[in-house]
Amino acid sequence: MTMFKCFKLQASLFSGALLISTCLSAQADDLADANKLFKQTQYSQALDKINEILTKKPKDAQARFLKGLVLTEQNKADEAIKVFSALTNDYPELPEPYNNLAVLYANQGQYDKARLSLEMAIRTHPSYATAHENLGDIYAKMASQAYDRALKLDHGNTATQTKLAMIQDLFGDTSRKPSRSEVATSTPAVVVKPPDVATQSADVKPATTGHAATSDQSKEVLKAVQEWAAAWSAKNTSKYLAHYAADFKAPKGASRTAWEAERKERINKPKSIHVGINNPNTSFIDTDHARVEFRQSYAAGQFRTSSSKTLLMAKSGEKWLIQEERVK
């Protein structure tokens, strides 16, 4: 079984995801000093300085994030996990702690936990490229394990051998044991740099961008999504397709006619279908456009799957219709 060394730690918090407020210059200097010590790999001294800051202001997000990086470099994965986990609880709008949790879980072989953490990072920040890349690596690692198990059960399966070889070629031959330095850093294939602490604030709040929607508007959008899922589950293709806007962007550049034909075939083929919408989150771009993110469960016969999905909705008259559909 190969060991992937491609998961990337995030070394700083996104300033764009925060509302920055002015902090005391003395505390900023202390954080900058800790940052400098971290750069110089003086991890024990950096940790002492960070703990001094946290004694005065225990909720300081930047100091806590830097502490997680220091603990990671000290090969104290369990302690680092506690730090990043606490950050996700206190600041769920920040994607970077989720990403770093995923890296730590991945290096422990806990790929399901890593996957869930990355999905949370992407849900929080859909354009977060590092999390998307890491998620792809997690799926590849899980696929590698599945192919390896398949080969143990069927040594002569050439198709599985080919698939496993493709993944190994993609990530390189890393079947050798990692060196001590590689294991200790827990940051494969990436040089970790400290956060830009000089301009960051200890008081972190979620940004207030986008259109503020009313409760009734959110209910209207979610009702449309639930009705779409119900029509799908009922295998009512005409009602299902009616939930898509005239300017719906079909995947892979397909024409609307070809896409509808493909959807009808897939919906009619199984004897039964059940589509579930779990943990939906609605945000409004403006009064006529909304984004709905949720976890979709899908069952057709013996087949079961679950995926993160985003629907971009547009209001047409009194109806909310699907303008774009994204699977993460």
Same domain for 67 and 141?
A: yes
CB contact set of 91 (below 8 Å; sequence gap of 6+):
61, 97, 204
Same domain for 286 and 171?
A: no
H helices of the chain, where? Answer: 25-39, 43-56, 61-73, 77-90, 96-107, 111-124, 129-153, 158-171, 180-185, 215-233, 237-241, 256-268
Residue 262 belongs to domain with CATH number = 3.10.450.50
Same domain for 181 and 235?
A: no
User: What confidence score (pLDDT) does residue 81 get?
Assistant: 95
Is 1 part of a structural domain of the chain? no
DSSP-derived 3-state class of residue 8: coil
Same domain for 44 and 126?
A: yes
Instruction: Write out the residue range of the structural domain in which residue 72 sits.
Output: 15-185
Is 199 part of a structural domain of the chain? no
Is 192 part of a structural domain of the chain? no
Is 206 part of a structural domain of the chain? no
Same domain for 181 and 51?
A: yes
| Overall residue count recorded for the chain in this entry | 328
Cα(37)–Cα(2) distance, integer angstroms: 35
Same domain for 111 and 233?
A: no
Is 224 part of a structural domain of the chain? yes
Same domain for 148 and 56?
A: yes
Is 117 part of a structural domain of the chain? yes
Is 2 part of a structural domain of the chain? no
User: What confidence score (pLDDT) does residue 26 get?
Assistant: 53
Same domain for 229 and 147?
A: no
User: What confidence score (pLDDT) does residue 179 get?
Assistant: 31
User: Along the chain (328 residues), what's the average pLDDT of each consecutive run of 10 residues?
Assistant: 48 45 54 87 92 91 91 92 93 89 89 90 86 84 76 73 62 38 28 33 35 73 94 94 92 87 90 91 89 90 82 92 88
Q: Which of 209, 210, 225, 208 is nearest to 285 (CA)?
A: 210
CB contact set of 246 (below 8 Å; sequence gap of 6+):
316
User: What confidence score (pLDDT) does residue 169 get?
Assistant: 57
Domain boundary among 164, 185, 206: 185
Same domain for 19 and 104?
A: yes
Domain boundary among 145, 168, 185: 185
Same domain for 35 and 112?
A: yes
The pTM of this model reads 0.47
Residue 132 belongs to domain with CATH number = 1.25.40.10
Same domain for 33 and 145?
A: yes
Which phi and psi angles does 244 have, rounded to 5°? -100, 135
Domain boundary among 185, 204, 238: 185
Q: What is the domain count for the chain?
A: 2
Is 197 part of a structural domain of the chain? no
User: What confidence score (pLDDT) does residue 144 get?
Assistant: 75
Cα(325)–Cα(309) distance, integer angstroms: 7
Same domain for 30 and 170?
A: yes
Which phi and psi angles does 190 have, rounded to 5°? -150, 140
